[in-house]
Structures are given as C-alpha cells and as structure tokens.
Homo-oligomer: A and B are copies of this chain.
C-alpha cells in the first residue's frame, strides 16, 4: 500500500513542492518527502510537534531538528505558510502558502480556512493611507468552533 487517501489537490501540492525543491537545488530526501507529504495532505494546520509525530510513525529515526529544518526550508522557498503564535506551538499550512484569513478556536485550537471575499482591496487601501509598501498581511479570527460551543 503506497498512499492512503491522497486527494488530487494534495497530490498536486506534493508535485509543486517537489518541483520547487528541485528547481531550488535542494535534495529530496526521505525525511523531506515525509514532512512535505504531511503538510500537503493535512487541512489541520499542524504544528511541528504533530508533523514530527506523524513522520516518526513511518520513519522512526527522524530527528525533531530535521522536521524544524525542513519546515523552515519549505517556508523559505515559499511553499508553506507559517502561522506564528507567541505562546509557542506555531502552525503551518502547506495547502495555501500565501496570506489568507484563518478562524481559530480559542478552546481546542482548531484552525480553519474560511471562505472570505473582499479582502484584497485592503492592501491597496493601506498603501494609499499609510505610505507603507504592503508586502504581506495576516488576518486571524478568534472564537469558539461549533463543537466547543456545544460543550460550553
């Protein structure tokens, strides 16, 4: 058995990431391939610790440092979006490696990608009104997910 329920979109992201690694003259090692596959397949914005756990399930000798370095590398070549949190436990999105809004549950820390229109205009408005040259942005909504609302 090779792949367990890899969606066509995830498969596509895997190809893109592999291509970008290759074109950037980085080697595709088993460890990198494992990390990359998890990032491409997961919709859950996993943390490094979670990626580490998954990788070790099929590649038990992998080091935590290697996971950190691989995630950082993928971030540097623009194939992974990092969601940094000051209370540690950063989260990563390998599906949409560009700025987009997130909804974060304050209780269970679940993170989703909401569909949201009319946001791209804001950067232009920023440029005009502040004189800053806007290069990126981050928009997080905090609240309670449906599951945690039920429990409350």
CA distance A125 to B116 in the complex (A): 8
By the criterion CB–CB under 8 Å, are B142 and A140 in contact? no
Say if the beta carbon of A84 comes within 8 Å of chain B. Answer: yes
CA distance A112 to B129 in the complex (A): 12
Look across to chain B and name the residue whose beta carbon is closest to the beta carbon of A137: B141
Give chain A's interface residues, CB within 8 Å of chain B: 84-88, 90, 103, 105-106, 112, 114-116, 119, 122-123, 125-126, 129-146, 149
Q: Can you identify 18 A-B contacts, CB atoms within 8 angstroms?
A: A84-B86, A85-B86, A103-B132, A103-B134, A112-B130, A112-B132, A114-B129, A116-B126, A119-B122, A126-B141, A132-B141, A132-B144, A133-B143, A133-B144, A133-B149, A134-B143, A135-B144, A137-B139
